[in-house]
Amino acid sequence: MKIGFNQINKHFGEVHANVDINFNIQSGMIYGILGENGAGKSTLMKILSGFIQPDSGEIVLDGRVVEIESPADAIKFGIGMLHQDPLDFPPMQVIDNFIAGQEGGLLLKHKGIIREFKALQEQFGFTLDPEAYVDTLTVGERQQLEILRLLWLGARVLILDEPTTGISVQQKEKLFAALRVLAQQEKTVVFVSHKLEDVEVLCDKVAVLRNGCLVGEVESPFDTDQLVELMFGKLIILKDPESVSGDEIVFELQNLYIEQYPITIENVNFRLHAGEVIGLAGMEGSGQDVLLRACAGLQRPVSGRVIVNGEDLTGKNYHEFIRKGVGFLPASRLEEGLVPGLTLAEHFTVTSDEKQKLFIDKTYFRSLSEQMIDEYRIIGRPDTPVESLSGGNQQRAALSLLKDSLSIILLEHPTRGLDMESSIYMWDKLRERCKRGTSIFFISADLDEVLRYSDRILVFFSGRVSKPQDSAAIDLDQLGLMIGGKGWEQEIANEETYEAISNA
Amino acid sequence: MTGDVILLGLAGVIASGAPIVLAAIGETLTERAGVINLSLNGLIILSAMAGFWVAIETDSILLGYLAGALVGALVSAIVAFSSITLKQSQVAVGFILTITCRDLAYLLGNPIMGRQGPIMLSTPIPLLRDIPILGPLLFQQSLMTYFSIILIFVTWFWISKTKPGLMLQGIGEKPAAAFVRGANVSMMRYLYTILGGALVGLAGPLYTLSVKPGWKGTITGLDGIGWIALAITIFGGWNPIRVAFGAYLFAFLQWLGLVLQSSWTFIPSQVLQVAPFPLMILTLLLVNLGNTEWMERLLATLPDGVRNRVKKLIRSLRSQPPAALGTPFERQ
């Protein structure tokens, strides 16, 4: 189906989210919508999928002007959208999720539909169990389910909003393969992303948005510099940061043994130096999150010791760890990192070391939060509730809440959902802290990020932890192999010598 | 005790469990759509009074029940309007309504206090009534009791075997996802809240016209039934079959208390009267054991095949509230 955007405008209060947007998308292609956080990509796609209506302008499908009033309306026009957080029903079975919303008939006829489901997923090489419960699936699998569901409902246009956030490399490849099949079937795929590398390998053509305006359309093959310049209005040069790691040991793990079903981590010995950055790499659920939580006092080790600044904190709770200068920033921002319902200023009030008296000094915290908003480039005001910030801004807010006095910062996916410029900025802020002696442990699914910012890397594979790898001595391919469980024989041979060294 | 007496007692359990079944199933439907109707307790008392009154005046048991259902639907419409349209706290509104309805019932019910009214008789079903054991147990009951039993299965079938039922689950679980699938979330919530309320409204007259005939004001003995029904909805994991099981279990424990009271005189009667409540809590704990960490660890030691089967069993027993229960839905 051919899609036309004709003079689309949309305001949210003061913000002009889409400004006079004009362009066409041909069918049978994978079309990228590229832009940094807050460029107006999601707004435009929500208009196309019927979630919101434009203030002015029209959507043209195959030459016909249409009014799309709701997402259910959109699917009748053949437009289906995959949301960043899958809109599915976690406690239900895959097949019930698949059926819910299908019109016609009163009774659920599982048998026939399971057959259709299997036939459909075969086309794309998906292997979902129709009787599995959705809350046991990974985000990538839930996306696959949504894709199948929308196609089954007759979608000829598939919109994907940041689909590669939070899924594994393997699942990304599976997803891309499926999208290519769809394009071959003359369907239209609209791929919304802020990730250049994804857009470059996948898309036939991209539209770049900046500050709500369409700033250019580029066809494959792409020139990275050109895309970056369109996205940010300037060229960004990536430099590898200098290491500021010192000699002083601030944190130590001794013979750590952790059990968190189904992961068991044995015999971890590790010493962290002041100012050092350690990347934890591995497929999701390989144990890196468990280890990080043990370092924060959120997971009690079965045996072994956790020593912070020379003091044994094994078995102490998170509160004690914070008091001793260990801060933890979890991946699930709204569940664990921030308090939904509280404003930015209230967050600073709660977490600040200053002015902790009975009554709240509103002016002080208002100006403090204004200062932090400025410093961390959060798009929001002191009285904005955190849940109404965009994902990237929630992340910035969460990072800004980490106290300056922390000597060790533990981060889970610190730049997930941030565009390139924002993540560079974020890391600049973190490295500044390192210069002042703060050490960092971080988990990331982005191997480039792990390689670029870490001094040393710990690789995880189903509960096994590698010895620390010097990031200068390992390349992307080696790291990728280790994450996939290859090249560990060498590791075992080294283990004994390593233990000998670390025990020395 | 002879077999006949026990059988008669158990038949009584089915009958006295019927109003609790109606109320708890009604609430299950409402909560499955994501709305908590906390007015249950007052609503049952008010509909009991109203139903009894209408039945006296018209000398029609049927109209009595209709009046009860109407009261239930109206009160629930207030809950629906304030929570769905005005997006107010469902807990606050329900709580105030429950107290208001109860006191209103006592106030307005003064003129009919102690009056003689019609009583619903049992309607044995020909042929089926003669089946040994099952006949006297199930097929010599009143029409409302039959209705309550049929309702259990109809509701179960609706929720788990039909497309609208699937969408009902979705609306209570994640309304945004139901919305993109074409559901009119607000309208559905109105519908199920009012329908659920009407079923709760049938429970009241079922007491005053059958189970505990007559209206005796504050000593009618209905205060508390609504809270029990609410608890049973939760115990039953929002599943009609299990909810009904909970209702009958409660009625059974109450009956047991009465029976034992006469033979176990060494136990204070209050203990036996209160016993059903902690026993219900114990049942809840047993049913939800599968969620604990040590259970997972225990399972990990089992061989794969057995583990998967046990896991499936626990999974089917697990009860999670509808995720969006009590929260308003906004389109954007």
In this prediction, residue A101 carries a pLDDT of 85
Q: Does the beta-carbon distance from B181 to A96 stay under 8 Å?
A: no
Q: Does the beta-carbon distance from B162 to A108 stay under 8 Å?
A: yes
Q: Does the beta-carbon distance from B315 to A133 stay under 8 Å?
A: yes
Q: How far apart are CA A489 and CA A55, in angstroms?
A: 61
**pLDDT tens digit string along A348-395?**
888 877 777 778 888 888 888 899 888 888 888 888 888 888 777 888
**pLDDT tens digit string along B5-53?**
888 899 999 999 999 999 999 999 999 999 999 999 999 999 999 999 9
| CA distances in angstroms from A40 to A20, A210, A212, listed in the order given | 12, 7, 5
Q: Are B217 and B115 in contact (CB under 8 A)?
A: no
What is the rounded average pLDDT of the residues A136-165?
A: 91
Query: Domain extents for chain B?
Result: 3-317
Q: How far apart are CA A147 and CA A100, in angstroms?
A: 14
**pLDDT tens digit string along A171-225?**
888 999 999 999 999 999 999 988 888 899 999 999 999 888 999 999 988 888 8
Strand pairing category for A249-260 and A263-273: antiparallel
The residues, ordered by sequence, that sit 6+ positions from B171 with a Cβ below 8 Å of its Cβ are B32, B33, B34, B178, B183, B185, B188, B189, B324
Q: Determine the residue among A52, A89, A290 to mutate to test chain B binding: the one whose Cβ has the most chain B Cβ atoms within 10 Å.
A: A89
First to last CA, chain B: 64
Q: Name which of A87, A92, A108 is nearest B161 (Cβ-Cβ).
A: A108
Helix, coil or strand: residue A457: strand
**pLDDT tens digit string along B283-323?**
766 766 666 667 767 777 777 778 777 777 776 666 778 88
Q: How far apart are CA A319 and CA A317, in angstroms?
A: 5
What b/e string do you get for A7-39 counting C-beta neighbours within 10 Å, with b at 16 or more?
ebbbeeeeebbbbebebebebebbbbbbbbbbb
Angle among Cα A448, A451, A455 to the nearest 5 degrees reads 155
**pLDDT tens digit string along A388-420?**
887 778 888 888 888 888 889 999 988 887 777
* CATH fold of the domain at B3-317: ABC transporter involved in vitamin B12 uptake, BtuC (1.10.3470)
Residue B311: HSE in the Cβ half-sphere, 13 Å Cα cutoff: 16
What is the rounded average pLDDT of the residues B209-214?
A: 92
In this prediction, residue A144 carries a pLDDT of 93
Q: How far apart are CA A67 and CA A70, in angstroms?
A: 9
At A450, which amino acid appears?
A: V
Q: Nearest 10 degrees: CA dihedral of A163, A166, A167, A172? A: 40
Q: Name which of A87, A100, A105 is nearest B167 (Cβ-Cβ).
A: A100
**pLDDT for A504 beyond 70:** no
The residues, ordered by sequence, that sit 6+ positions from A230 with a Cβ below 8 Å of its Cβ are A34, A208, A210, A215, A216, A218
Q: How far apart are CA A497 and CA A310, in angstroms?
A: 25
Q: Name which of A81, A89, A261 is nearest B177 (Cβ-Cβ).
A: A89
Residues 261-280 of A with CB under 8 A from B: 261-262
Domains of chain A: residue spans and CATH: 3-232 (3.40.50.300), 249-338+401-503 (3.40.50.300)
Q: Which residues of B touch A89 (CB under 8 A)?
A: 169-170, 173-174, 177
Q: Are A218 and A200 in contact (CB under 8 A)?
A: no
Identify the band that residue A503 occupies on the pLDDT scale cut at 50, 70 and 90: very low
Closest CA to B29 of B67, B74, B76: B76
Q: How far apart are CA B294 and CA A16, in angstroms?
A: 53
